[in-house]
Structure 1
Amino acid sequence: MHLEGIEVKALCDLRKENIERAEHILREFGRPEAENYSEEGMWRKMCECKEIDLIYICTDWLTHTDIAVYALQQGRHVALEVPAAMSVADCWRLVDTAEETRRHCMMLENCCYDAFALTTLNMVQQGVLGEITHAEGSYIHDLRKHYFADEKAGGYHNHWIKLYSQQHTGNPYPTHGLGPVCQWMNIHRGDRMEYLVSMSSRQAGLSAYAGQVFGASSEEAAQSYEMGDVNTTLIHTAKGRTILLQYDVTTPRPYSRHQTVCGTKGFMQKYPVPCLLLDEYGKEPLSGEQFERMMEQYKHPFTAVIGEEARRKNMPNEMNYIMDYRLIHCLRNGLPLDQDVYDAAEWSCITELSERSVRQGSVPVEIPDFTRGNWKER
């Protein structure tokens, strides 16, 4: 609503209350009325509408790929929520279809536009941290109460997220932690992820929580889950770098995405508290004015310009605003996207590959080269 040069042409949701809420927002901002697609299967008709240039896909994980592929085949650009796909086969479908149709397919990984992540990227690109050898990312978010709350209250009880946890293990939500790391390491732009090993703890958190809240003999406490409480995945790149990736939504740990990077000249980490250590300043992390001065000096232009615009407009989520701004700006000006279909595929394929490794005793599993060898020169 706050970006120039766009018009919302259509709204599509099976829940009419969601459509009505979106229509209210359009009216509130003085936007033209949008076409309404609210019946089962009508998303296909919306994708076929020639007046639409870009389709935003914010559905459940398992329907992302089917909708994206159909939209691309109709000549639409696609922006889809994370993860872009839940299987390696679906990752290849996205890549193949985007290449065949010559249409953009961007995964909406907003954590790449976090101010600290962008400052880190700027420092890495300017060589401040030296040669990067290791980085860490994660999605650690205590969601236990949501697994037993009704959907109308924002919960996952009898919801597709909970069902997925009952049937799968590994890391089903890798991209919040992995996206920024891949950009720091120039993945697909001079390096690529080669293989991974993954290990999951046993499941105990959801069962213990359910027993505590609903009683040990309750139906909730008796539910079983394949998903371990904590998944840890190690990734090795073609240039010999390593990535540690964690997923944990069922322990009391404080929220974290880690955002850790190690170089030959320095170290940066956002969580649990922002930290910057540089050889040239000694063996202790920078603090106070010195830390703030460095963060200001290397503030990324996206944060300095677009982020400031978001703050002036009182936007509730600066990361989302920068992400949407960059997507629209690149499409309108014929520029390469910050995240392309190859990034979407490689970051998302960790979902299946981590589960495969866990179920086979944490064996190494190769990561496909979705660029077909072009990662060295892109």
Structure 2
Amino acid sequence: MSNSRRSFLKKSGLTGMGLTAGMFAAFASDEDALDQIKEQAQRNPAPIFNMSGYAAPKLEKVRLGVVGVGNRGFDAVARMSKIEGVEIKALCDLRPERLKLAKDLVTPLGHKPDLYHTDPEAWKKLCERKDLDLIYILTPWALHTPIAVFSMEHNKHVCVEVPAGKSLEELWSLVLTSERTQKHCMMVENCCYDFFEMTTLNMARQGFFGDIIHCEGSYIHNLTEYMFSKEHFYQMWELKEAFQRKGNLYPTHGLGPLCQVMNINRGDAMDFLVSVSSNDFVLGPMAKSLASKDSFYKPFEGKSYNGNMNTSTIKTKKGKTLMVQFDVSSPRPYTRIQLVSGTKAVALKYPEPGRYATSHEWMTENEVKELEEKYKPAIVKKIGEVAKQVGGHGGMDFFMDWRTIDCLRNGLPLDQDVYDAALWSSISPLSVWSVANQSTSIKVPDFTRGHWKSNSPVDISLSKGGTTGVLV
């Protein structure tokens, strides 16, 4: 184990807890590792502090630092600048030109951010500042956990893009650091705030579906044009991710909202997972074709890329099932599926518009409109039109940011906690192991260490809070 890794584990509280051996073994390909992996996945060290339902002290003003001002980072800065009670004080990116664009955008709104750039570790200087409350992390995946852990160690709450970490080792470090520092670590899973997803969550809370038996989600989105673009993903980082591991590399968009509907971590828990992947029939040939015309693509030729389609099936402690798919290279229409199937009713978002049924036939368009109006969440009634106006994937990004700031300012628990971040992200390394071992089942770690039995279900509502204004 390298000295840098030992240092990271020591700071994150992993060493001395009997966790590290199993985490490293989870990436071994030999069959002898299976028993050890399952044993480690079931290991239950005593929680330091239960972060589920935790409400941090109120913040009259949320002083914000943003790390990563590329595509999604720039949009996040724009959204945050429109929320009352936010002061954007610091921005960080390797590219000074990106920072200038962001600063020019927010300066007329009264924000005067300091800029950190060029040095690959400039983010540390930002996170060390004592005048920040929240660090928003929108970097390539490999930096998510290191920056999040460092930020919490320096007394900051964290919002981190998906996935929150790439390995079980990293995800446990997020959990243990959040518990020890009592700082929020929220993975900003924006799909939990889509209109359909919030409506079905409200319907589930009111018993519309009865007992939920099975759910299906996905991230099926043809990204080949972006992955091979020289400009879109800085330094081609996402294409590099595609040949480093084979499995469901991006599970949380379809998974997160369904976990909330099914009360995962809050009344039920994942038990085990089975994952299978197809071969790659697109990325490798595309890399070869492009390399024959442009030497820039030569380093990407001849790689063993992740398969086109990964399907992972999960069973919960209470005997319910979840199916999650991942495909970013097939010529298919975009879908997250979002199927919620219960004993009384079913809902299906894609293909849009969303549909509902309480028998063997889908409801009519008028019946759906009446149903969605009846179960429209209070948060949608309050800022739904504003969210659509500000935008961000149809408004769900703004919903997410506004709700997070409102909770921090009112001293309320966040809708997503560190256990959600860790669990939803863990599907990636678990699926990678399962695929590498002929789709053998693998136990899913219980990051709550038994607290899922008593944690309260999440309820995205305005029963409390809802006082933060919108500056548009």
Is TM > 0.5 for Structure 1 vs Structure 2?
Answer: yes
The question of 1:375 aligning with 2:448 is answered no
Residue of structure 1 in register with 2:365 after alignment: 288
The question of 1:63 aligning with 2:138 is answered no
Following the alignment from structure 1 to structure 2, what is the Cα–Cα distance between the partners of residues 315 and 352? 32
Residue of structure 2 in register with 1:96 after alignment: 176
**Alignment deviations for residues 276-296 of structure 1 (CA, whole Å, 9 cap, x no partner):** 3433xx431012211111111
Which consecutive unaligned segments of at least 5 residues does structure 2 have?
A: 1-80, 456-472
Following the alignment from structure 1 to structure 2, what is the Cα–Cα distance between the partners of residues 212 and 86? 30
Secondary structure, in 3 states, of the residue corresponding to 1:252? coil
Q: Please state how far the C-alpha of 1:35 moved relative to its aligned partner.
A: 1.2
| Candidates 93, 108, 111, aligned match of 1:13 | 93
RMSD: 1.9
Identity of aligned residues (%): 46
CA spacing shift, 1:64–1:42, aligned 2, 3 Å: same
Secondary structure, in 3 states, of the residue corresponding to 1:350? helix
Amino acid at match of 2:433: R
Q: Please state how far the C-alpha of 1:257 moved relative to its aligned partner.
A: 0.4
Amino acid at match of 2:444: I
The question of 1:48 aligning with 2:128 is answered yes
Amino acid at match of 1:223: G
CA spacing shift, 1:32–1:204, aligned 2, 3 Å: same
TM-score (norm 1): 0.94
Which consecutive unaligned segments of at least 5 residues does structure 1 have?
A: none
Q: Please state how far the C-alpha of 1:125 moved relative to its aligned partner.
A: 1.0
**Alignment deviations for residues 190-249 of structure 1 (CA, whole Å, 9 cap, x no partner):** 001111000000011123445666769996684323311100000111111100000000
Contact 2:281 2:308 in 1 (8 A): yes
Following the alignment from structure 2 to structure 1, what is the Cα–Cα distance between the partners of residues 153 and 287? 45
Q: Please state how far the C-alpha of 1:299 moved relative to its aligned partner.
A: 1.4
| Candidates 304, 311, 324, aligned match of 2:381 | 304
Residue of structure 1 in register with 2:350 after alignment: 271
Superposed counterparts of 1:1-378, under 5 Å: 1-28=81-108, 30-40=109-119, 41-150=121-230, 152=231, 154-155=232-233, 159-210=236-287, 222-279=301-358, 282-311=359-388, 313-317=389-393, 318-378=395-455
Following the alignment from structure 1 to structure 2, what is the Cα–Cα distance between the partners of residues 212 and 39? 34
Q: Please state how far the C-alpha of 1:189 moved relative to its aligned partner.
A: 0.7
CA spacing shift, 1:211–1:132, aligned 2, 3 Å: same
Amino acid at match of 1:58: L
CA spacing shift, 1:273–1:114, aligned 2, 3 Å: same
Amino acid at match of 1:89: E
Contact 1:135 1:261 in 2 (8 A): yes
Following the alignment from structure 1 to structure 2, what is the Cα–Cα distance between the partners of residues 326 and 17? 30
Contact 1:277 1:283 in 2 (8 A): no
Segment of structure 1 superposing worse, 245-254 or 220-229: 220-229
TM-score (norm 2): 0.75
Secondary structure, in 3 states, of the residue corresponding to 2:88? coil
Contact 1:134 1:263 in 2 (8 A): yes
Q: Please state how far the C-alpha of 1:329 moved relative to its aligned partner.
A: 0.9
Secondary structure, in 3 states, of the residue corresponding to 1:78? strand
Aligned length: 371
